[in-house]
Amino acid sequence: MRELRVLLRFTGADVRDVGTLVEDGHRVWFEFDPAFAAGRIEISPLRLPLVRSGLIEHRSTPGAPIPGVFNDARPEGWGLKLLHRAFQARGRPASSVSPLEELAFLGPHTMGALVFEPCTGPSGELDDAVELAALAAHAQRVWDDRIQVVLPQLVRAGGPSGGARPKALVGLRGDGGPGFRYGEGELPDGWDAWLVKFPTSTDDADVGRREDAWMAMARGAGIDVPDFRVLSLEGVGDAFAIRRFDRLQGGRRLHMLSAAGALDADFRTPAADYEHLLRATLRICDGDQSQVLAMFRLAAFNVASLNEDDHLKNFAWLVGPDGAWRVAPGFDLTYAPRPYGERWTTVAGAGSAVGREHLLTLSAKVGIKPLVARRVLDEVTAATMDVRAHLRDAGCLGPVSEAAADAVERATSRLRR
């Protein structure tokens, strides 16, 4: 049997005991700390509300072996690969590592604000002896399975992350100056927390700059997006970097809940509709229609911009010490067509060739006024019709980017009057 203490760490001075997570074989339980249960901060309003008391057994499902809110703190894809390599270096095959052992390895080095004790992974600071370009080159070799031994700096920087692509959590200077710091940990004054996505050997040369263009286009469409930039890494290529929205100045953290975590769902199975996301937003954000509208705008942008990789891990909500939930800024927004044009998340039941009528039907289902919905569609499509200008400004000149521009213009035309 393994037990983990779960804490909500907003700052070093504001750490709240959430409860205890227990696993015994394939069975998992959670129990809220009584003091936390008496408070007003919900960590998972839909699946683990504070009204539930006593020992709560989790029924394991594909993609959610532990309660979704804690499953969010586990790495997946790239981060899980790094963690399993670290366990293999300790003589543990990946198949023998349980979800709670993965959380214990990360301890305080997690995305969002949930942290876990005791921590069994490495602690202490790492020096900055490896340059970011060298770390990216090492990540490429790990991603290609050309090497088995992973640098501890990469485990620290990439282990908490999700997604399939190689990436690292780093600290960058707020003034844009040189240097960086590895992974999770306190940052000195003048430094900010960023996530950097490295190009891979199978990517076209525009991949990082194209995501930069998409984020600029999303901002033009009225979507809240974090700061972003392109980092040119010698010998590697252009990496896309985005400021982390789960970290604020002064080491403050925000609790983050993905749509997969909120619904205890397997994000790898395309079984969701945007109606689920809009209704979940209505519940989680306590009826705040501005947040529902923000999620609807994101849906419209994903359709217009051919971002068909819109699975449930790519949507999230945030909450701070005040207990007020809001939709997270847009992230993982880029040109991402899927085979046969079938998107992960359907729109009013349609998975391909989504048109204006599908989005207007979707908006009506959740009470968005027709005039407001049409205005959002007009604002989003005005931005996506400028896709060629955004690609040109980002320096995207390759054939994939040209195909992206053509596809976005076609998708956008279906959403216009």
Boundary of a domain, candidates 60, 82, 117: 117
Other CB atoms within 10 Å distance of the CB of residue 127 = 8
pLDDT in tens, the chain (417 residues): 899 999 999 999 999 999 999 999 889 999 999 999 999 899 999 999 998 778 999 988 878 899 999 999 998 888 889 989 999 988 999 888 999 999 999 999 999 999 999 999 876 555 555 688 988 999 999 988 898 888 888 888 888 887 888 999 988 888 877 777 776 667 888 889 999 999 998 999 999 999 999 999 999 999 999 999 999 999 999 999 999 999 998 889 999 999 999 999 988 888 899 999 999 999 999 999 999 999 999 999 999 999 999 999 999 999 999 999 999 999 999 999 998 889 999 999 999 999 999 999 999 999 999 999 999 999 999 999 999 999 999 999 999 999 999 999 999 999 997
Boundary of a domain, candidates 206, 223, 243: 243
Whether residue 279 sits in one domain with residue 219: no
Whether residue 184 sits in one domain with residue 161: yes
Boundary of a domain, candidates 243, 267, 302: 243
Whether residue 405 sits in one domain with residue 349: yes
Whether residue 368 sits in one domain with residue 297: yes
CATH number (domain holding residue 321) = 1.10.1070
In a domain, residue 327? The reply is yes
Whether residue 84 sits in one domain with residue 13: yes
Report pLDDT for 124.
59
Q: What is the pTM of this model?
A: 0.95
In a domain, residue 123? The reply is no
Whether residue 258 sits in one domain with residue 237: no
Helix (H, G, I), strand (E, B) or coil at 401: helix
Domain span at 325: 254-415
Q: Is the CB of residue 35 less than 8 Å from the CB of residue 17?
A: yes
In a domain, residue 377? The reply is yes
In a domain, residue 267? The reply is yes
In a domain, residue 284? The reply is yes
Whether residue 317 sits in one domain with residue 179: no
Report pLDDT for 43.
98
Report pLDDT for 126.
54
Whether residue 260 sits in one domain with residue 322: yes
In a domain, residue 126? The reply is no
Match 């000195």 to its residue by tokens.
188
Whether residue 330 sits in one domain with residue 359: yes
In a domain, residue 249? The reply is no
Q: Which residues pair with 235 in a beta bridge?
A: none
In a domain, residue 127? The reply is no
Whether residue 99 sits in one domain with residue 6: yes
Whether residue 171 sits in one domain with residue 69: no
- 38 CB-near residues (< 8 Å, 6+ apart): none
Query: What burial letters (b/e) apply to 215-226, b meaning 16+ CB within 10 Å?
Result: bbbbbbbbbebb
Report pLDDT for 183.
64
Whether residue 398 sits in one domain with residue 258: yes
The DSSP secondary structure of 89-156, one letter per residue, reads HTT--GGG--HHHHHHHHTT--SSSEEEES--S--S-----S-HHHHHHHHHHHHTTS-S---HHHHH
Domains held by the chain: number:
3
Report pLDDT for 284.
98
d(CA 227, CA 285): 24
Give which of 46, 4, 27 is closest to 276, Cα–Cα.
46
